[in-house]
Structure 1
Amino acid sequence: MKTPNRNRLPNEEIKAILRAADVIIARGGRTLLAKILKGSREKKVLELGLDTCPVYGYYKSEKLDIITEKIDWMIDFDFLDIEYSGKLPMIVFTERGWQIESDQLTDELLSEWQEWVNQGKLDQDMSYLKDRNRQMILLLLEKVKESGNPAFIPYLMLWEKIEYKKVKEAIRTTIKALENREPVDEQLIQVRAESINEALNGLAPSDFPLKCWVCGKRFTFTVGEQKFFKQKGFQLPKTCKKCREKEAEGRFSRFL
Protein backbone atom coordinates (compact mmCIF):
# COMPACT_ATOMS: atom_id res chain seq x y z
CA MET A 1 0.00 0.00 0.00
CA LYS A 2 1.40 3.42 -0.90
CA THR A 3 1.88 6.13 1.68
CA PRO A 4 -1.22 8.32 1.45
CA ASN A 5 -1.17 12.05 0.94
CA ARG A 6 -0.94 13.64 4.39
CA ASN A 7 -2.78 16.78 3.28
CA ARG A 8 -6.26 16.83 4.73
CA LEU A 9 -9.02 16.15 2.23
CA PRO A 10 -11.73 18.82 1.91
CA ASN A 11 -15.05 17.92 3.55
CA GLU A 12 -16.79 17.58 0.18
CA GLU A 13 -14.23 15.01 -0.97
CA ILE A 14 -14.58 13.07 2.28
CA LYS A 15 -18.35 12.95 1.75
CA ALA A 16 -17.99 11.94 -1.90
CA ILE A 17 -15.70 9.02 -1.06
CA LEU A 18 -18.05 7.88 1.71
CA ARG A 19 -21.02 8.09 -0.67
CA ALA A 20 -19.19 5.95 -3.24
CA ALA A 21 -18.15 3.47 -0.55
CA ASP A 22 -21.79 3.09 0.51
CA VAL A 23 -22.67 1.14 -2.66
CA ILE A 24 -19.95 -1.50 -2.13
CA ILE A 25 -19.69 -1.75 1.66
CA ALA A 26 -18.45 -5.23 2.69
CA ARG A 27 -18.54 -6.44 -0.93
CA GLY A 28 -15.75 -4.50 -2.63
CA GLY A 29 -12.28 -3.21 -1.92
CA ARG A 30 -10.09 -0.16 -2.48
CA THR A 31 -9.59 -0.81 -6.17
CA LEU A 32 -13.31 -1.07 -6.96
CA LEU A 33 -14.01 2.05 -4.91
CA ALA A 34 -11.33 3.94 -6.84
CA LYS A 35 -12.89 2.83 -10.14
CA ILE A 36 -16.32 4.15 -9.11
CA LEU A 37 -14.82 7.52 -8.24
CA LYS A 38 -12.82 7.52 -11.47
CA GLY A 39 -15.92 6.75 -13.54
CA SER A 40 -14.48 3.54 -14.97
CA ARG A 41 -16.37 1.84 -17.82
CA GLU A 42 -14.93 -1.51 -16.82
CA LYS A 43 -17.31 -4.45 -17.32
CA LYS A 44 -17.57 -5.33 -13.60
CA VAL A 45 -18.41 -1.74 -12.65
CA LEU A 46 -21.20 -1.59 -15.22
CA GLU A 47 -22.56 -5.08 -14.49
CA LEU A 48 -22.93 -4.18 -10.80
CA GLY A 49 -24.72 -0.96 -11.75
CA LEU A 50 -22.11 1.11 -9.94
CA ASP A 51 -22.25 3.75 -12.66
CA THR A 52 -25.60 4.85 -11.15
CA CYS A 53 -23.90 5.95 -7.93
CA PRO A 54 -24.47 9.73 -7.44
CA VAL A 55 -20.71 10.36 -7.20
CA TYR A 56 -19.67 8.04 -10.04
CA GLY A 57 -16.87 9.81 -11.91
CA TYR A 58 -16.31 12.36 -9.12
CA TYR A 59 -12.56 12.15 -9.76
CA LYS A 60 -12.76 11.52 -13.51
CA SER A 61 -9.78 13.78 -14.21
CA GLU A 62 -7.55 12.05 -11.60
CA LYS A 63 -5.34 8.99 -12.08
CA LEU A 64 -6.37 5.81 -10.28
CA ASP A 65 -3.29 5.78 -8.06
CA ILE A 66 -4.04 9.32 -6.86
CA ILE A 67 -7.65 8.32 -6.09
CA THR A 68 -6.38 5.26 -4.22
CA GLU A 69 -4.10 7.50 -2.14
CA LYS A 70 -7.15 9.53 -1.15
CA ILE A 71 -8.97 6.32 -0.15
CA ASP A 72 -5.94 5.26 1.90
CA TRP A 73 -6.07 8.65 3.63
CA MET A 74 -9.71 7.95 4.49
CA ILE A 75 -8.67 4.62 6.02
CA ASP A 76 -5.73 6.09 7.94
CA PHE A 77 -7.87 8.90 9.32
CA ASP A 78 -10.63 6.56 10.52
CA PHE A 79 -13.42 7.27 8.03
CA LEU A 80 -13.19 3.87 6.35
CA ASP A 81 -11.68 0.55 7.36
CA ILE A 82 -10.72 -2.79 5.87
CA GLU A 83 -12.28 -6.09 6.93
CA TYR A 84 -11.40 -9.43 5.39
CA SER A 85 -13.89 -11.78 3.79
CA GLY A 86 -11.71 -14.86 3.62
CA LYS A 87 -8.58 -13.45 1.99
CA LEU A 88 -10.37 -10.58 0.28
CA PRO A 89 -10.01 -7.09 1.84
CA MET A 90 -13.38 -5.31 1.88
CA ILE A 91 -14.15 -1.65 2.52
CA VAL A 92 -16.36 -0.97 5.57
CA PHE A 93 -17.44 2.16 7.41
CA THR A 94 -15.95 3.17 10.72
CA GLU A 95 -18.34 4.61 13.30
CA ARG A 96 -17.21 8.11 12.28
CA GLY A 97 -17.61 7.39 8.58
CA TRP A 98 -21.11 5.96 8.97
CA GLN A 99 -22.19 8.93 11.10
CA ILE A 100 -21.26 11.27 8.24
CA GLU A 101 -22.63 9.04 5.48
CA SER A 102 -25.97 8.37 7.19
CA ASP A 103 -26.44 12.12 7.61
CA GLN A 104 -25.81 12.90 3.95
CA LEU A 105 -27.75 9.85 2.75
CA THR A 106 -30.85 10.90 4.69
CA ASP A 107 -30.54 14.39 3.22
CA GLU A 108 -30.39 12.79 -0.23
CA LEU A 109 -33.51 10.72 0.46
CA LEU A 110 -35.37 13.75 1.78
CA SER A 111 -34.44 15.74 -1.35
CA GLU A 112 -35.84 12.89 -3.44
CA TRP A 113 -39.13 13.08 -1.54
CA GLN A 114 -39.27 16.83 -2.15
CA GLU A 115 -38.73 16.21 -5.86
CA TRP A 116 -41.65 13.77 -5.83
CA VAL A 117 -43.80 16.46 -4.21
CA ASN A 118 -42.75 19.00 -6.83
CA GLN A 119 -43.66 16.54 -9.60
CA GLY A 120 -46.97 15.55 -7.99
CA LYS A 121 -45.94 11.91 -7.58
CA LEU A 122 -47.98 10.45 -4.72
CA ASP A 123 -48.23 6.69 -5.33
CA GLN A 124 -44.57 5.73 -4.78
CA ASP A 125 -43.07 2.31 -4.03
CA MET A 126 -41.52 2.72 -0.57
CA SER A 127 -40.12 -0.80 -0.33
CA TYR A 128 -36.61 0.56 -0.97
CA LEU A 129 -36.60 1.77 2.65
CA LYS A 130 -37.47 -1.60 4.19
CA ASP A 131 -34.67 -3.52 5.93
CA ARG A 132 -32.37 -0.51 5.81
CA ASN A 133 -30.10 0.40 8.70
CA ARG A 134 -32.35 1.20 11.68
CA GLN A 135 -30.22 4.13 12.84
CA MET A 136 -30.38 5.71 9.40
CA ILE A 137 -34.14 5.16 9.12
CA LEU A 138 -34.81 6.85 12.47
CA LEU A 139 -32.60 9.75 11.46
CA LEU A 140 -34.56 10.09 8.20
CA LEU A 141 -37.83 10.19 10.14
CA GLU A 142 -36.39 12.81 12.48
CA LYS A 143 -35.48 14.99 9.50
CA VAL A 144 -38.93 14.47 7.93
CA LYS A 145 -40.44 15.66 11.21
CA GLU A 146 -38.09 18.65 11.31
CA SER A 147 -39.07 19.62 7.75
CA GLY A 148 -42.59 20.37 8.99
CA ASN A 149 -43.82 19.51 5.50
CA PRO A 150 -47.27 17.82 5.55
CA ALA A 151 -46.82 16.98 1.83
CA PHE A 152 -44.62 14.10 3.00
CA ILE A 153 -47.49 12.40 4.86
CA PRO A 154 -48.71 10.33 1.84
CA TYR A 155 -45.23 8.78 1.51
CA LEU A 156 -45.11 8.05 5.23
CA MET A 157 -48.51 6.33 5.04
CA LEU A 158 -47.39 4.16 2.12
CA TRP A 159 -44.18 3.34 3.94
CA GLU A 160 -45.99 2.41 7.15
CA LYS A 161 -48.00 -0.28 5.32
CA ILE A 162 -44.90 -2.35 4.51
CA GLU A 163 -42.79 -1.85 7.65
CA TYR A 164 -42.21 -3.81 10.85
CA LYS A 165 -43.84 -2.91 14.15
CA LYS A 166 -41.14 -0.68 15.68
CA VAL A 167 -40.60 1.31 12.51
CA LYS A 168 -44.39 1.59 12.03
CA GLU A 169 -44.61 3.25 15.46
CA ALA A 170 -41.88 5.74 14.58
CA ILE A 171 -43.60 6.53 11.26
CA ARG A 172 -46.96 7.12 13.03
CA THR A 173 -45.24 9.47 15.49
CA THR A 174 -43.77 11.40 12.56
CA ILE A 175 -47.14 11.63 10.80
CA LYS A 176 -48.76 12.94 13.99
CA ALA A 177 -45.99 15.54 14.42
CA LEU A 178 -46.55 16.82 10.87
CA GLU A 179 -50.34 16.85 11.25
CA ASN A 180 -50.12 18.77 14.53
CA ARG A 181 -47.36 21.03 13.24
CA GLU A 182 -45.25 20.31 16.30
CA PRO A 183 -42.40 22.80 16.89
CA VAL A 184 -38.94 21.88 15.67
CA ASP A 185 -36.24 21.19 18.25
CA GLU A 186 -33.63 23.69 17.03
CA GLN A 187 -31.19 22.65 19.75
CA LEU A 188 -31.24 19.04 18.54
CA ILE A 189 -30.53 20.18 14.97
CA GLN A 190 -27.62 22.30 16.20
CA VAL A 191 -26.16 19.46 18.27
CA ARG A 192 -26.37 17.10 15.29
CA ALA A 193 -24.66 19.62 13.01
CA GLU A 194 -21.86 20.13 15.52
CA SER A 195 -21.45 16.38 15.87
CA ILE A 196 -21.10 15.96 12.08
CA ASN A 197 -18.56 18.78 11.90
CA GLU A 198 -16.57 17.16 14.69
CA ALA A 199 -16.66 13.81 12.88
CA LEU A 200 -15.46 15.44 9.66
CA ASN A 201 -12.39 16.84 11.39
CA GLY A 202 -11.02 13.33 11.76
CA LEU A 203 -8.07 12.22 13.82
CA ALA A 204 -4.55 11.81 12.59
CA PRO A 205 -3.20 8.26 13.00
CA SER A 206 -0.79 7.98 15.92
CA ASP A 207 1.43 5.47 17.68
CA PHE A 208 -0.05 3.79 20.76
CA PRO A 209 1.32 1.55 23.53
CA LEU A 210 0.66 -2.18 23.93
CA LYS A 211 1.70 -4.58 26.70
CA CYS A 212 3.80 -7.63 25.85
CA TRP A 213 2.18 -10.88 27.01
CA VAL A 214 5.60 -12.50 27.52
CA CYS A 215 7.84 -9.98 29.30
CA GLY A 216 5.06 -7.68 30.53
CA LYS A 217 6.78 -4.54 29.26
CA ARG A 218 5.11 -1.79 27.26
CA PHE A 219 6.05 -1.38 23.60
CA THR A 220 5.00 1.08 20.90
CA PHE A 221 2.77 -0.04 18.05
CA THR A 222 3.72 2.48 15.37
CA VAL A 223 1.52 3.98 12.64
CA GLY A 224 3.54 2.10 10.01
CA GLU A 225 3.05 -1.21 11.84
CA GLN A 226 -0.67 -0.50 12.22
CA LYS A 227 -0.99 0.00 8.44
CA PHE A 228 0.93 -3.20 7.72
CA PHE A 229 -1.12 -5.29 10.17
CA LYS A 230 -4.39 -3.84 8.80
CA GLN A 231 -3.34 -4.51 5.20
CA LYS A 232 -2.51 -8.14 6.03
CA GLY A 233 -5.61 -8.67 8.17
CA PHE A 234 -3.51 -9.45 11.26
CA GLN A 235 -4.68 -9.06 14.86
CA LEU A 236 -2.87 -6.69 17.23
CA PRO A 237 0.59 -8.06 18.20
CA LYS A 238 0.68 -9.73 21.62
CA THR A 239 4.46 -9.62 22.07
CA CYS A 240 7.15 -6.98 21.71
CA LYS A 241 9.80 -7.09 19.00
CA LYS A 242 12.51 -8.51 21.33
CA CYS A 243 10.28 -11.36 22.51
CA ARG A 244 9.22 -12.12 18.93
CA GLU A 245 12.88 -12.27 17.90
CA LYS A 246 13.74 -14.59 20.82
CA GLU A 247 10.84 -16.87 19.89
CA ALA A 248 12.00 -16.93 16.26
CA GLU A 249 15.58 -17.72 17.34
CA GLY A 250 14.30 -20.57 19.50
CA ARG A 251 12.38 -22.09 16.61
CA PHE A 252 15.42 -21.76 14.32
CA SER A 253 17.81 -23.33 16.85
CA ARG A 254 15.73 -26.51 17.04
CA PHE A 255 16.64 -27.25 13.42
CA LEU A 256 20.42 -26.90 13.99
Structure 2
Amino acid sequence: MTIHRRDEKQQLPLPQEEIFVILNAADEISARGGRTMLAKLLKGSKDKRLIGLELDKTPCYGYFAKNTLDEITTKIDWMLKHEFLAIEIYGKLPLLVFTERGWKITRSLQIESFLNEWNTWLDQGKVDIDMTYLKERNREMMLLFLERIKESGDLKYVPYMRMWAAIAFKKVATVINMTIDEMLKQSSVAKGSSLYPREREEVLMALQMNMLVLQPKILKCWDCRERFVFEVEEQEFFKLKGFNDPKRCPECRERKMLRRMGIDLEAGDSL
Protein backbone atom coordinates (compact mmCIF):
# COMPACT_ATOMS: atom_id res chain seq x y z
CA MET A 1 0.00 0.00 0.00
CA THR A 2 2.79 2.39 0.87
CA ILE A 3 4.61 1.59 -2.36
CA HIS A 4 1.45 2.29 -4.32
CA ARG A 5 1.11 5.75 -2.76
CA ARG A 6 4.76 6.51 -3.54
CA ASP A 7 4.21 5.51 -7.17
CA GLU A 8 1.16 7.77 -7.37
CA LYS A 9 3.15 10.64 -5.91
CA GLN A 10 5.87 10.17 -8.49
CA GLN A 11 3.30 10.47 -11.27
CA LEU A 12 2.05 13.85 -10.09
CA PRO A 13 2.95 16.68 -12.49
CA LEU A 14 5.73 18.98 -11.40
CA PRO A 15 4.85 22.60 -10.64
CA GLN A 16 5.65 24.94 -13.51
CA GLU A 17 8.34 26.70 -11.49
CA GLU A 18 10.16 23.41 -10.87
CA ILE A 19 9.97 22.53 -14.57
CA PHE A 20 11.56 25.87 -15.43
CA VAL A 21 14.30 25.45 -12.80
CA ILE A 22 15.20 21.94 -13.97
CA LEU A 23 15.30 23.08 -17.60
CA ASN A 24 17.57 26.00 -16.71
CA ALA A 25 19.84 23.68 -14.75
CA ALA A 26 19.86 21.18 -17.62
CA ASP A 27 20.96 23.96 -19.96
CA GLU A 28 24.07 24.44 -17.81
CA ILE A 29 25.17 20.84 -18.34
CA SER A 30 23.48 19.99 -21.63
CA ALA A 31 25.50 17.43 -23.62
CA ARG A 32 28.22 17.29 -20.95
CA GLY A 33 26.47 15.64 -18.01
CA GLY A 34 23.72 13.20 -17.17
CA ARG A 35 21.02 12.64 -14.57
CA THR A 36 23.46 12.32 -11.71
CA MET A 37 25.26 15.57 -12.45
CA LEU A 38 21.96 17.42 -12.88
CA ALA A 39 20.68 16.04 -9.57
CA LYS A 40 23.89 17.10 -7.80
CA LEU A 41 23.68 20.57 -9.32
CA LEU A 42 20.11 21.02 -8.10
CA LYS A 43 21.04 19.59 -4.71
CA GLY A 44 23.95 21.99 -4.31
CA SER A 45 26.56 19.25 -4.06
CA LYS A 46 30.21 20.07 -3.38
CA ASP A 47 31.22 17.56 -6.04
CA LYS A 48 34.67 18.50 -7.40
CA ARG A 49 33.55 18.31 -11.00
CA LEU A 50 30.67 20.70 -10.36
CA ILE A 51 32.96 23.15 -8.61
CA GLY A 52 35.59 22.79 -11.33
CA LEU A 53 33.01 23.71 -13.97
CA GLU A 54 31.90 26.63 -11.75
CA LEU A 55 28.36 25.27 -11.74
CA ASP A 56 28.11 26.32 -8.11
CA LYS A 57 27.84 29.89 -9.41
CA THR A 58 24.69 29.23 -11.44
CA PRO A 59 21.29 30.47 -10.20
CA CYS A 60 19.84 26.95 -10.02
CA TYR A 61 22.65 25.54 -7.85
CA GLY A 62 21.15 24.16 -4.64
CA TYR A 63 17.56 24.98 -5.60
CA PHE A 64 16.43 21.62 -4.19
CA ALA A 65 18.88 21.66 -1.28
CA LYS A 66 16.20 20.37 1.10
CA ASN A 67 15.42 17.36 -1.08
CA THR A 68 17.35 14.11 -1.20
CA LEU A 69 19.21 13.12 -4.35
CA ASP A 70 16.67 10.34 -4.89
CA GLU A 71 13.79 12.84 -4.73
CA ILE A 72 15.55 15.16 -7.16
CA THR A 73 16.30 12.27 -9.51
CA THR A 74 12.60 11.37 -9.44
CA LYS A 75 11.78 14.88 -10.63
CA ILE A 76 14.36 14.57 -13.42
CA ASP A 77 12.89 11.21 -14.44
CA TRP A 78 9.47 12.87 -14.65
CA MET A 79 10.99 15.45 -17.02
CA LEU A 80 12.41 12.63 -19.13
CA LYS A 81 9.15 10.71 -19.17
CA HIS A 82 7.21 13.77 -20.32
CA GLU A 83 9.79 14.57 -23.01
CA PHE A 84 11.16 17.83 -21.70
CA LEU A 85 14.58 16.19 -21.68
CA ALA A 86 16.15 13.12 -23.25
CA ILE A 87 19.25 11.02 -22.80
CA GLU A 88 21.61 10.37 -25.69
CA ILE A 89 24.73 8.25 -25.70
CA TYR A 90 27.93 10.08 -26.64
CA GLY A 91 30.75 7.57 -26.83
CA LYS A 92 29.87 5.49 -23.80
CA LEU A 93 28.42 8.33 -21.75
CA PRO A 94 24.67 8.92 -21.28
CA LEU A 95 24.23 12.68 -21.50
CA LEU A 96 21.17 14.88 -21.05
CA VAL A 97 19.94 16.83 -24.05
CA PHE A 98 16.88 18.93 -24.75
CA THR A 99 13.90 17.64 -26.65
CA GLU A 100 12.18 20.04 -29.03
CA ARG A 101 9.55 20.65 -26.36
CA GLY A 102 12.10 21.40 -23.68
CA TRP A 103 14.21 23.58 -25.95
CA LYS A 104 11.27 25.80 -26.89
CA ILE A 105 10.49 26.46 -23.24
CA THR A 106 14.14 27.01 -22.31
CA ARG A 107 14.67 29.35 -25.24
CA SER A 108 11.70 31.50 -24.24
CA LEU A 109 12.81 31.58 -20.60
CA GLN A 110 16.33 32.64 -21.49
CA ILE A 111 15.17 35.35 -23.85
CA GLU A 112 13.02 36.86 -21.10
CA SER A 113 15.94 36.45 -18.70
CA PHE A 114 18.25 38.38 -21.04
CA LEU A 115 15.68 41.14 -21.42
CA ASN A 116 15.08 41.38 -17.67
CA GLU A 117 18.83 41.61 -17.14
CA TRP A 118 19.07 44.49 -19.61
CA ASN A 119 16.15 46.23 -17.89
CA THR A 120 17.90 45.90 -14.54
CA TRP A 121 21.12 47.36 -15.93
CA LEU A 122 19.22 50.23 -17.56
CA ASP A 123 17.42 50.99 -14.30
CA GLN A 124 20.81 51.07 -12.59
CA GLY A 125 22.16 53.43 -15.24
CA LYS A 126 24.92 51.09 -16.40
CA VAL A 127 26.48 52.24 -19.67
CA ASP A 128 29.62 50.11 -19.91
CA ILE A 129 28.46 46.51 -20.28
CA ASP A 130 30.66 43.66 -21.48
CA MET A 131 28.45 42.02 -24.10
CA THR A 132 30.83 39.17 -24.87
CA TYR A 133 28.58 36.87 -22.83
CA LEU A 134 26.19 36.92 -25.80
CA LYS A 135 28.81 36.16 -28.44
CA GLU A 136 28.97 32.38 -28.06
CA ARG A 137 25.27 31.90 -27.39
CA ASN A 138 23.06 29.84 -29.69
CA ARG A 139 22.54 31.94 -32.82
CA GLU A 140 18.89 30.98 -33.19
CA MET A 141 18.24 32.13 -29.63
CA MET A 142 20.04 35.42 -30.25
CA LEU A 143 17.96 36.12 -33.35
CA LEU A 144 14.81 35.43 -31.35
CA PHE A 145 16.13 37.74 -28.63
CA LEU A 146 16.43 40.48 -31.25
CA GLU A 147 12.87 39.79 -32.38
CA ARG A 148 11.72 40.14 -28.78
CA ILE A 149 13.50 43.50 -28.48
CA LYS A 150 12.02 44.63 -31.78
CA GLU A 151 8.52 43.64 -30.62
CA SER A 152 8.95 45.84 -27.55
CA GLY A 153 9.59 48.84 -29.81
CA ASP A 154 11.49 50.46 -26.93
CA LEU A 155 14.47 52.51 -28.07
CA LYS A 156 16.03 52.41 -24.63
CA TYR A 157 17.69 49.17 -25.75
CA VAL A 158 19.50 50.82 -28.68
CA PRO A 159 22.71 51.68 -26.76
CA TYR A 160 23.08 48.10 -25.53
CA MET A 161 22.33 46.77 -29.01
CA ARG A 162 25.15 48.93 -30.36
CA MET A 163 27.53 47.52 -27.75
CA TRP A 164 26.43 44.01 -28.69
CA ALA A 165 26.90 44.64 -32.42
CA ALA A 166 30.44 45.85 -31.77
CA ILE A 167 31.54 42.43 -30.47
CA ALA A 168 29.15 40.09 -32.31
CA PHE A 169 30.05 37.88 -35.23
CA LYS A 170 29.53 39.61 -38.57
CA LYS A 171 26.20 38.01 -39.50
CA VAL A 172 24.68 38.63 -36.09
CA ALA A 173 26.02 42.20 -36.04
CA THR A 174 24.34 42.84 -39.39
CA VAL A 175 20.99 41.66 -38.04
CA ILE A 176 21.43 43.76 -34.89
CA ASN A 177 22.06 46.92 -36.92
CA MET A 178 19.15 46.16 -39.23
CA THR A 179 16.90 45.70 -36.19
CA ILE A 180 18.00 49.06 -34.78
CA ASP A 181 17.26 50.79 -38.09
CA GLU A 182 13.82 49.17 -38.29
CA MET A 183 12.99 50.16 -34.71
CA LEU A 184 13.98 53.78 -35.36
CA LYS A 185 11.92 53.89 -38.55
CA GLN A 186 8.90 52.27 -36.92
CA SER A 187 9.05 54.73 -34.05
CA SER A 188 9.24 57.64 -36.47
CA VAL A 189 6.29 56.40 -38.55
CA ALA A 190 4.15 55.56 -35.52
CA LYS A 191 4.70 58.84 -33.73
CA GLY A 192 5.02 61.34 -36.54
CA SER A 193 7.93 62.88 -38.34
CA SER A 194 10.03 63.30 -35.20
CA LEU A 195 10.82 61.12 -32.22
CA TYR A 196 9.21 61.73 -28.85
CA PRO A 197 11.44 63.28 -26.13
CA ARG A 198 12.20 59.92 -24.53
CA GLU A 199 13.29 58.41 -27.84
CA ARG A 200 15.35 61.50 -28.65
CA GLU A 201 17.14 61.06 -25.33
CA GLU A 202 17.88 57.41 -26.09
CA VAL A 203 19.31 58.18 -29.53
CA LEU A 204 21.27 61.11 -28.11
CA MET A 205 22.64 58.82 -25.40
CA ALA A 206 23.80 56.40 -28.08
CA LEU A 207 25.47 59.23 -29.97
CA GLN A 208 27.21 60.51 -26.86
CA MET A 209 28.46 57.03 -26.04
CA ASN A 210 29.97 56.79 -29.55
CA MET A 211 27.84 53.78 -30.35
CA LEU A 212 26.28 55.32 -33.45
CA VAL A 213 29.51 55.56 -35.42
CA LEU A 214 28.82 58.24 -38.00
CA GLN A 215 31.02 59.30 -40.88
CA PRO A 216 30.46 62.03 -43.50
CA LYS A 217 28.40 60.70 -46.41
CA ILE A 218 28.58 61.61 -50.08
CA LEU A 219 25.03 61.88 -51.44
CA LYS A 220 23.63 62.81 -54.85
CA CYS A 221 21.02 65.56 -55.10
CA TRP A 222 17.75 64.62 -56.77
CA ASP A 223 17.30 68.10 -58.26
CA CYS A 224 20.67 69.37 -59.50
CA ARG A 225 22.21 65.86 -59.70
CA GLU A 226 25.38 67.16 -58.06
CA ARG A 227 27.07 65.31 -55.21
CA PHE A 228 27.21 66.88 -51.75
CA VAL A 229 28.59 66.02 -48.31
CA PHE A 230 26.12 65.02 -45.59
CA GLU A 231 28.12 66.09 -42.54
CA VAL A 232 28.16 64.18 -39.23
CA GLU A 233 26.55 67.04 -37.29
CA GLU A 234 23.67 67.12 -39.76
CA GLN A 235 23.33 63.34 -39.61
CA GLU A 236 22.97 63.55 -35.83
CA PHE A 237 20.24 66.17 -36.21
CA PHE A 238 18.37 64.05 -38.77
CA LYS A 239 18.57 60.96 -36.53
CA LEU A 240 17.30 62.86 -33.52
CA LYS A 241 14.36 64.08 -35.59
CA GLY A 242 13.71 60.64 -37.03
CA PHE A 243 14.34 61.86 -40.60
CA ASN A 244 15.80 59.82 -43.45
CA ASP A 245 18.89 61.07 -45.30
CA PRO A 246 18.20 64.23 -47.36
CA LYS A 247 17.36 63.81 -51.04
CA ARG A 248 18.54 67.30 -51.99
CA CYS A 249 21.70 69.30 -51.41
CA PRO A 250 21.52 72.29 -49.03
CA GLU A 251 21.19 74.78 -51.91
CA CYS A 252 18.33 72.89 -53.56
CA ARG A 253 16.65 72.40 -50.19
CA GLU A 254 16.81 76.15 -49.65
CA ARG A 255 15.43 76.86 -53.13
CA LYS A 256 12.57 74.43 -52.52
CA MET A 257 11.75 76.11 -49.21
CA LEU A 258 11.77 79.55 -50.86
CA ARG A 259 9.47 78.36 -53.64
CA ARG A 260 7.01 77.23 -50.99
CA MET A 261 7.17 80.79 -49.67
CA GLY A 262 6.39 82.11 -53.14
CA ILE A 263 9.92 83.28 -53.90
CA ASP A 264 11.51 82.04 -57.12
CA LEU A 265 15.14 83.17 -57.38
CA GLU A 266 15.44 81.84 -60.92
CA ALA A 267 12.57 84.10 -61.99
CA GLY A 268 14.36 87.14 -60.59
CA ASP A 269 12.59 87.42 -57.25
CA SER A 270 14.69 88.99 -54.50
CA LEU A 271 14.81 88.19 -50.83
- TM-score, normalised relative to structure 1: 0.67
Deviations 1:118-146 (A, max 9, x none): 12111211111113212111111111112
Structure 2, unpaired ranges of 5+: 1-6, 191-271
Using the alignment, how far apart are the partners of 2:46 and 2:154 within structure 1?
40
Counterpart of 1:168 in structure 2 is 173
Structure 1, unpaired ranges of 5+: 185-256
Asked which structure has the greater CA Rg, the reply is 2
Indicate which of 121, 130, 147 corresponds to 1:125: 130
Indicate which of 26, 29, 35 corresponds to 1:30: 35
Find the residue that maps to 1:57 and give its secondary structure: coil
RCO (CA 8 Å, sep 6+): is it higher in 1 or 2?
1
Counterpart of 1:17 in structure 2 is 22
Q: Are 1:74 and 2:96 an aligned pair?
A: no
Mean Cα displacement is larger for which, 132-141 or 26-35? 132-141
Q: Are 1:48 and 2:53 an aligned pair?
A: yes
Indicate which of 3, 12, 22 corresponds to 1:7: 12
> Match for 1:42: what amino acid?
D
Counterpart of 1:111 in structure 2 is 116
Find the residue that maps to 1:124 and give its secondary structure: coil
Aligned residue pairs total 182
Deviations 1:160-212 (A, max 9, x none): 1222333123211321233235499xxxxxxxxxxxxxxxxxxxxxxxxxxxx
Counterpart of 2:94 in structure 1 is 89
Using the alignment, how far apart are the partners of 1:36 and 1:163 within structure 2?
31
- TM-score, normalised relative to structure 2: 0.63
RMSD: 1.9
Using the alignment, how far apart are the partners of 2:136 and 2:58 within structure 1?
20
> Match for 2:45: what amino acid?
S
Indicate which of 151, 156, 160 corresponds to 1:155: 160
Q: Percent identity?
A: 51
> Match for 1:82: what amino acid?
I
Moved over 3 A (4+): 180-184
Counterpart of 2:143 in structure 1 is 138
